[in-house]
Amino acid sequence: MRAGMAKTTFNRLHEFWASSILDQKTKLRLYKCAVWSKLTYGNVAWKLTDTMCQFLNGWNSRCLARITGRSEEEEARQPLEECNLVVFVRKQRFEWVGHTLRRHESFPARRMLMKQQKPYEEGSVLMDAPQHNDMDELAELAQDRQSWRATKHATGSSKQCSNPPQSLARRMQTRASRRQLEFRLD
């Protein structure tokens, strides 16, 4: 349903995509603001499975091909870095998890998130979460906004949909371990 609404918006803007007056950068900004926002609304509730990632990549490739003049295959294999829809969605979801885990314990979305248990379902909103043993540990990791943001910037950089960014996750794990050790020493 959201894809249909976004496609309608995309088609309504066909004159912009065909314009020789607007440069490609402006067209891509318009595409991301007007079309992606409609498509990705509520994406934290999605199961971001490999099938869903393929659908998003294909959908995005068809639209980008009309804007950039490249083939759909080129756009699917090597999308412009700033126009990788799957990476965008994964980063948004990761950011939402961090914000939610930093909320007060009585916040309904936080309570729901804290009930999640490993192993997480395929495509879970926690698919890009740094390595952790339980949700309390993940909530503690989310408190360090600087590390959380650094991990967000590495999120989704791999081609496969299901791989979390391991190196930064390990770094956050080490920081959490140091804090626990400092706490014990006090």
Per-run averaged pLDDT (10 residues), the chain, 186 residues: 94 96 95 96 93 94 94 87 91 96 96 93 92 94 92 64 44 51 48
Q: How far apart are CA 31 and CA 41, in angstroms?
A: 15
pLDDT of the residue at 156: 60
Q: Output helix, strand, coil percentages for the chain, rounded to the nearest 5.
A: 70, 0, 30
pLDDT of the residue at 186: 47
Round the CA-based radius of gyration of the chain to a whole number and report it. Answer: 19
pLDDT of the residue at 105: 95
What does the pLDDT look like over 68-80, one tens digit per residue?
A: 999 999 998 887 7
CB distance 86 to 46 below 8 Å: no
pLDDT of the residue at 173: 52
CB distance 53 to 59 below 8 Å: no
* Model confidence, pTM: 0.81
- Give the pair of three-digit tokens for residue 123: 């495509």
Q: How far apart are CA 159 and CA 87, in angstroms?
A: 9
pLDDT of the residue at 167: 39
pLDDT of the residue at 79: 78
- Give the pair of three-digit tokens for residue 183: 């706490």
Q: How far apart are CA 175 and CA 70, in angstroms?
A: 44
pLDDT of the residue at 81: 77
pLDDT of the residue at 176: 52
pLDDT of the residue at 154: 75
